[in-house]
Amino acid sequence: MVTPDRTAYDHIRTPILHVDMDAFYASVATRDRPELAGRPVVVGGGSRGVVLAANYVARQFGLRSAMPMTRVRRLCPDVVVLAPDFESFTSVSRSVMEVFRAVTPVVEAISLDEAFLDVRGSARRLGGPAEIAEWLRSTIHDEQAISCSVGAARTVSVAKLASRRAKPDGVLVVDPAEVTSFLHPLDVGELWGVGEKTRAQLHRLGLMSVGDLAHTPVETLRRALGPHLGQHLHDLAWGHDREELAVRAGPHEPERSMGADETFGRDTDDREVIVRELMRLSAKVAARMRAASVVGRTITIRIRFADFTTITRSRTLPEATDVTVEIHRAAIRLYDALGLQRARLRLVGVRVEGLVPRAGAQRQLVLGEREHGWPEADRAVDRATRRFGSAAVRPGSLIGGR
């Protein structure tokens, strides 16, 4: 790559790049399927599922991420629905992240399909942000046959908005001098951190655009939205935000919590079904915790009723655990304490919070009070799962279940 004459690389004006794959899951799922070219495609499915990704043809029919599948089929009966293949998505994601790291070690991954890059240290070698953006796009396109969009700015949030504006398959550099003229016409709902509820609340206050937000006294916003959010949105409206990235310490930043939940195929009030599902979810979570060498003390269950109202109940144990049976037992206690009789449940979930490395959380063995055997049983399950796959080994209470 030809590098134009440049001085003062440290003062590069838009060093933060936000790279975002276009319709990532849909692009990966269709890249080897030329027969689907020009057809509306969504990734998702299940009778009670939602859209995970919609290609750009599907978007012309109004199909969007998070849209219920029932609505999808109504809006677009000819839609092609593909089941997600997360192994494939993860593998493509790894390759894409390698391309990012070829540009700079300062990469903050946000999800499988997007990341921030700080290219301050790369300018001498690779050129300015716009050139680096084009290099990333062509490299990813050549290697993975998918397109992406890139936003460049001085701050994280403006780079993020810029990549969205650049979609699909484009680049947008927002110079610091242009930040307010870029931001202020946008609807408040465009800001990162403003969802449906906050957007509606702001609109009720007569604050429609980011410019309106910017010209509202910060005290007013703090009173209306809470001190933290009020201050934060006022800052964002002026383009004030993080300029440094949080580079992950390792490939797997330790998670603060791990959980699993599942929507039933049909709502149920059958305790036996619910207890069995809690067992399956507890086993899944505990296995992931053991694989990550973490233990946790706070067990939370989530219940969603047929009318979609959702509650959580949690309990903090005296000792951190990664033992399936202990997590399950806590979950059952929390469930039974609710005293539900005929309430029909749509979803149940189990989550363990307050995770710490197992090495730093030695169990206290007090007077032999711990039942032993269960951790050993879990380890045996883990070994068998590694050898034969997860279908081969299931807790006894799940066998015979539908």
Partner DNA sequence: TCTGGGGTCCTAGGACCC
Which residues of this chain interact with DNA, rule CB under 7 A?
A: 46-50, 52, 65-66, 68-71, 110-114, 160, 191-199, 226-229, 255-263, 265-266, 284, 288, 297-298, 307-308, 310-316, 346-347, 349, 351, 354
Q: Which is nearer to DNA, 13 or 394 (CB)?
A: 394
List, as one string, the DSSP characters of 38-49: TS-EEEE-STT-
Q: Is 175 helix (H, G, I), strand (E, B) or coil?
A: coil
How far apart are CB 8 and DNA at their closest, in Å? Answer: 32
How far apart are CB 298 and DNA at their closest, in Å? Answer: 5
| Cα separation values, 181 from 112, 202, 214, 238, 314, Å | 31, 20, 12, 10, 47
Q: Which is nearer to DNA, 120 or 199 (CB)?
A: 199
Q: Which is nearer to DNA, 368 or 389 (CB)?
A: 389
- In angstroms, the first-to-last Cα distance of the chain is 59
Q: Which is nearer to DNA, 257 or 397 (CB)?
A: 257
Q: Tell me, yes or no, if 371 is annotated catalytic.
A: no
How far apart are CB 351 and DNA at their closest, in Å? Answer: 7
Residue 382 C-beta-side C-alpha neighbours within 13 Å:
18
Distance separating alpha carbons of residues 218 and 390, to the nearest angstrom: 53
Question: Which residue shows structure tokens 């990966």?
Answer: 28
Catalytic residue among 35, 87, 108, 114: 114
**Which segments of 85-147 are extended strands (E)?**
107-111, 114-118
Q: Which is nearer to DNA, 177 or 391 (CB)?
A: 391
In SS3 terms, 59-83 reads as HHCCCCCCCEHHHHHHHCCCCEEEC
How far apart are CB 154 and DNA at their closest, in Å? Answer: 19
Q: Note whether 55 and 144 are within 8 A (CB).
A: no
How far apart are CB 274 and DNA at their closest, in Å? Answer: 14
- Sign of the C-alpha dihedral computed for residues 177, 182, 183 and 185 taken in this order: positive
- Catalytic positions, written as ranges: 114
